[in-house]
Amino acid sequence: MKIIESDFQAWMGGIQARTEAALARLLPPPHMAPARLHQAMRYATLEGGKRVRPLLVFAAGEVAAAPPERLEFAACAVELIHAYSLVHDDLPCMDDDVLRRGKPTVHVEFDEATALLVGDALQSLAFQLLADQRLADDPRVQLDMVRTLAVAAGSRGMAGGQQIDLESTGKALTLPELEVMHIHKTGALIRAAVTLGAACGHVDPSQKSSLDRYGKAMGLAFQVVDDALDYEGSTGTLGKTAGKDSRQGKPTYVSALGLPRTRELAGELRADALAALEQLGDRGRRLGQLADFIVLRKF
């Protein structure tokens, strides 16, 4: 597998910084009433995270020659949904965790009721961002972007996957059941990030279907790698409590397949994602580099 290239590091740093600045600008200011809620929203979202979903939005946008100003809004919308999901996932009624992105979780730093509202408000803001500006030439395409994000976050996407996750604790899932859970819980939003980036510009139907194949493969690869890292990694490196899946009796790829086969599966999904990019030529270069980053990451 390739070493992450230095031009990719520079590109990634630029998009991460751009996303951070855009989120800081688009989130309500910390002293605006109700200040505690706005401070907690900013705490949950800013200065943390790899920004993988915004990176995917921008990389897919390159395939579609999309204007970066549009991509910025789409990237922030997806990241806000992701930040909301982490806040709710950490709540005592869900995963009950105290550490996220190397800091105390939102309900620990603030309180549980505020954390609940933070998630609600981040989700609403995400959809506001998709509706506030012109993000696609055709308004019907923009409406479809709103729909794509809603489906990805909802009961047929991330929230549904989380429900399956809650019901699976203490059970051994078959591989197809594990895949269904993760395609929804983690994969749906990653796939939507790719779709949204492309929708900000222009792609033909065959490019659109290649991008969707890439997004689907990387959505699952992301979770397969996450399972491996939860098993192999340390709390210090991950910035969240390591080894929690097995302690909580959660079915994972590592518990189903063992670590070596889990790593192999991640490599196979990466290969499928790269095969999907073949017909996109050089415009798919960043997506290819991101596939490597997602599979090789250590946190």
Q: What is the DSSP letter of 249?
A: T
Q: Using CB under 6 A, which of 27, 52, 178, 287 touches ligand GRG?
A: 52
Q: Which is nearer to ligand GRG, 87 or 280 (CB)?
A: 87
Q: Which is nearer to ligand GRG, 30 or 48 (CB)?
A: 48
x/- contact string, 10-49, with ligand GRG (CB under 6 A)?
Answer: --------------------------------------xx
Partners of 100 in beta bridges: 103
Strands (E), the chain: 99-100, 103-104
Q: Using CB under 6 A, which of 36, 101, 103, 208 touches ligand GRG?
A: 101
85 makes contact with ligand GRG (CB under 6 A) = yes
Q: How many CB atoms lie within 10 A of CB 214?
A: 28
Q: Which is nearer to ligand GRG, 158 or 273 (CB)?
A: 158
CB of 181 to ligand GRG, least distance (A): 10
Q: Which is nearer to ligand GRG, 88 or 270 (CB)?
A: 88
CB of 211 to ligand GRG, least distance (A): 20
CB of 137 to ligand GRG, least distance (A): 30
Q: Give one DSSP letter per residue of the chain, joined into a string.
A: -PPPPHHHHHHHHHHHHHHHHHHHHHSPPTTSSSHHHHHHHHHHHSS-S--HHHHHHHHHHHHTT--HHHHHHHHHHHHHHHHHHHHHHTSTTTT--SEETTEE-HHHHS-HHHHHHHHHHHHHHHHHHHHHS--SSSHHHHHHHHHHHHHHHSTTTHHHHHHHHHHHTTSPPPHHHHHHHHIIIIIHHHHHHHHHHHHTS---HHHHHHHHHHHHHHHHHHHHHHHHHHHH--HHHHSS-TTHHHHTT---HHHHH-HHHHHHHHHHHHHHHHHHHGGGGGGGHHHHHHHHHHHH---
Residue tagged 């907690």 (tokens): 40
50 makes contact with ligand GRG (CB under 6 A) = yes
User: Which residues from 209-228 bind ligand GRG, rule CB under 6 A?
Assistant: 223, 226
CB of 58 to ligand GRG, least distance (A): 15
Q: Using CB under 6 A, which of 162, 195, 241, 252 touches ligand GRG?
A: 162
Q: Which residue is nearest to ligand GRG (CB)?
A: 49
Helix (H) or strand (E) holding 216: helix 205-232
Q: Using CB under 6 A, which of 38, 107, 184, 185 touches ligand GRG?
A: 185
CB of 201 to ligand GRG, least distance (A): 24
Q: Using CB under 6 A, which of 158, 183, 196, 228 touches ligand GRG?
A: 158
Q: Using CB under 6 A, which of 37, 116, 159, 271 touches ligand GRG?
A: 159
Whether 80 contacts 153, CB under 8 Å: no
121 makes contact with ligand GRG (CB under 6 A) = no
Size of the site for ligand GRG (CB under 6 A): 18
> Which stretches of the chain bind ligand GRG, using CB under 6 A?
48-50, 52, 82, 85-86, 88-89, 94, 101, 158-159, 162, 185-186, 223, 226
